[in-house]
Amino acid sequence: MFRCGIAYPRCRWIAPLILLFAIIFDIIAVAATSGWVEDEDAQSHYASMWKNCRGRNKHWDCSSLMELSWAQAVAALMILGLVLLIVAFIISCVALCRTVNSSLLYVVGGLLLIAVILQVIALIIYPVKFNELIFEGHYDYTWAYGFGWGATALMIGCVVLFCCLPRYEDEMLGLAKPKYIYSSA
């Protein structure tokens, strides 16, 4: 027998786990001190979400980016997105891990959608304003910046998942009759 579709009871455990990975990715992106951007040689200039450093070897001259309004906005949007993600994770655990509360799933989807919008704005503002601030040479975006986009991509997938799951409440609870593609009669 072939079975088609998602194993909905497993979604009860996998969806919060995906949100946990998004939280971890977001914390890595926000807390990274090694930089979101570095020059092509990775030896004379790098910048994180918090500071901008120039120099060679162990002699780095660092200045805070928090003096610039765009950097403050990026930090605020990323941190607010992370807080909304953590709240959504807690609500998803309550909604899915004990009993299925389908009304809370829409709340989780809404919170994640707001967090996605905030983080996409932040992740677009940063390279645009950084390139206006520093316009010499070629710069590469590092793994820390990539973790920010990775967390955002996971959240986009979870928005779709949490907005579609309430339609399949019976399947998640195991009350629906299985549907088979092929049955030998």
Q: Report pLDDT digits (tens) over 135-154.
A: 667 778 888 889 999 999 99
What pLDDT, in 10s, does the model give residues 63-100?
888 888 988 999 999 999 999 999 999 998 888 776 66
pLDDT for res 9: 63
C-alpha distances out from residue 100 to 16, 105, 111, 176, Å: 13, 9, 18, 14
How many CA atoms lie within 13 Å of 96's alpha carbon, on the beta-carbon side? 27
Q: Provide CATH code, domain 16-174.
A: 1.20.140.150
pLDDT higher for 58 or 172?
Answer: 58
pLDDT for res 2: 41
* Domain boundary assignment for the chain: 16-174
